[in-house]
Chains A and B, each alone.
Chain A
Amino acid sequence: MAVIIYTETENGSFKKVAFEIASYGKALADQVGQKLVAVTFNQEDGSALGTYGVDEVVNITGAFTSSFSAKKYAAALAQIASEKEASLVVVSSSANSKYLAPLLAVKLAAAYTSNVIALPESTEPLTLKRTCYTSKALSIVSSNQPINIIGLSSNAFGIIETQSSPSQSSVAVEEATSSMQVSSVEKVTGVITIADADVVVSGGRGLKGPENWYLIEDLAATLGAATACSKPVSDMGWRPHSEHVGQTGKPVASNLYIAIGVSGAIQHLAGINSSKVKVVINIDPEAPFFKAADYGIVGDAFEVLPKLIEKLKAFKAA
């Protein structure tokens, strides 16, 4: 018996979310008195997971592991979980984890619970707290299945260091067949994605045009943040759709969310509700965002932002 975690990597390094999953997995493994086994793909060196309490790292090898395939990865994870007689599997809320989790659930005849925000309230039966109604409500869900997949919300548990010396092994698994082929990947490089970011800086119509986005980018660069935008901004083509956050865009669950010139329509707030601390800068004191925010400045973005960037640079340098 073991708790299995799917720890995601990119270009040979673990993604930050992998360490949060490991931290959660460690606490869960302690709760049920089992060891913690991390599964990686095409990642020779898994030693970094030893900072987060992982007991064993199983690296899946084979030609197919060089690029993500939900079907093939799910089949491989299912094989390892079955071999280890795992009843608990933890995955993240990344696009790829959410893609493979339901496929894995079918393979393992497991119940999959997404958007989980805490350790189980009980393990017999497994009872989990999750967000629903686009973060406007919470629910307590109890599983009817002996095997469970927990999808942890980003930034819900945090990263906790626990030193361990994981054993490492490589396993070749049978490749699942699929008629699907990835023909190209377009990915921005060198910037932090919304999914990975601790801080997200978001701009709305109040910025008046794409030519003013350097202010958002400067602020984001100063904070090491990802950039995002409201729906009207992506609809008008000022920014790409992949930056649109809100109910029909990307969900945000960052530690800090700074909204500039975003009015705070209910659909926008629904998508960013899971962020811990919200700051709004808007010239209109009646903007609904002020009701949802923790800190607010009523002011002109074009006056406030340059000052904020300058002061933050000084603060970071100090």
Chain B
Amino acid sequence: MKILVCISNVPDTTSKINFVDSNTKFDTQGVQFIINPNDEFGLTRAVWFQQKQQAEVTVLTVGDASCEPTLRKCLAIGADKAIRVDADPTDGYFVAKQIAAVCEKESYDLIIAGRESIDHNGAMVPGLVAGMLDYEYITNCISLEIENDQATAAREIDGGKEIVSSGFPLVIGAQKGLVEESDLIIPNMRGIMQARKKFLEVMAATDAVASSTVVSFDKPAPKGEVKLIDADDIDTLIDLLHNEAKVI
């Protein structure tokens, strides 16, 4: 079983979100970048398959050299090797094209990508990759087992879950539930040392044109102060929700 885990290098959740260059670029000043949380749930499950079912795990990201610490962290968590496609990840379509091109060369049985990144929130990369390669696809995946060349997965749906089975090759949109937060692997010193020696391949990008361009970023209008209501004055809260906010 060859598994490819697609990694997005994203600003830490607690980062201040600001933009520069006339609001066209994210301000990376003082921002710490992390593995996109949905990708990390997927990576952790992939490492489980490596340890229990002899799978080989490759991680891939599309980005410049500044993404390499994030890839090294994936290697320290347990991935066997890493690929960095050397290109600016302009949009989801462009990134999916790069992933699909690597998959056409290398043929992986299982491709895992987070259901969405926490920066662009496009929620499209795993689906686009599946569409481009004509592989089976399950997103919002909250459990995944592999037995006898057959995958059994649970997909979270609105109000419940659906159990599906599928053959390979298969693309998974990962999220929490695939593993729990407590299962996430914090790299130890041995893992970090080994990661330095693991193979990180830099590949040239394949020709592709982004399907969209960000014209500008903006921040939502600042919110007014909270209106505090006395705990003994529930009538006022109901009145405000009915007459002012008009939501009940």
Q: Which residues of A contact B (CB under 8 A)?
A: 70-71, 74, 94-96, 98-103, 105-107, 110-115, 127, 131-145, 178-188, 191, 193-196, 198-199, 223, 231, 235, 241-242, 244, 247-249, 255-256, 266-267, 270, 273, 276-277, 279-280, 290-300, 303-304, 307-308, 311-312, 315
Contacts and interface: CB of A to CB of B under 8 A. Distances in A.
B121 interface: yes
Contact of A140 (B92, B120, B123, B215): B215
A139 B213 CA distance: 10
Nearest to B154: A186
Contacts of A110: 211
Contact of B217 (A138, A247, A248): A138
A273 to B, nearest CB: 8
Contacts of B152: 183
A70 B173 CA distance: 13
B203 interface: no
A98 B123 CA distance: 7
Contacts of B211: 110-112, 143-145
Given A101-B124, A103-B137, A191-B159, A298 B231 contact: yes
Interface string B154-172: 0111111111111100000
B223 A292 contact: yes
Contacts of A195: 158-159
A105 B131 contact: yes
A133 B17 contact: yes
Nearest to A130: B121
Contact of B245 (A180, A186, A277): A277
Contacts of B108: none
Given A144-B213, A280-B226, A296-B227, A136 B17 contact: yes
B212 A144 contact: yes
B210 A144 contact: yes
B187 interface: no
A167 to B, nearest CB: 30
11 contacts: A103-B127, A105-B127, A105-B131, A113-B212, A137-B19, A137-B219, A181-B165, A182-B164, A241-B142, A241-B177, A248-B37
Contact of B212 (A103, A133, A141, A308): A141
Contact of A96 (B157, B210, B234): B157
Contact of B227 (A95, A193, A294): A294
A267 B182 CA distance: 16
B231 A199 contact: no
Given A103-B130, A141-B213, A311 B235 contact: yes
A266 B11 CA distance: 14
B235 A266 contact: no
A103 B131 CA distance: 5
Interface in B175-214: 175-177, 180-182, 209-214
B218 A139 contact: yes
Contact of A294 (B118, B127, B235, B245): B245
A114 B229 contact: no
Interface stretch (B51-59, B61-69, B79-87, B236-244): B236-244
A153 to B, nearest CB: 10
Given A105-B131, A114-B122, A195-B159, 4 more contacts: A114-B123, A181-B164, A181-B166, A187-B159
A102 B124 CA distance: 5
Given A94-B158, A99-B140, A179-B136, A137 B165 contact: no
A292 to B, nearest CB: 7
Contacts of A187: 157, 159-161
Contact of A115 (B121, B176, B220): B121
A241 B43 CA distance: 20
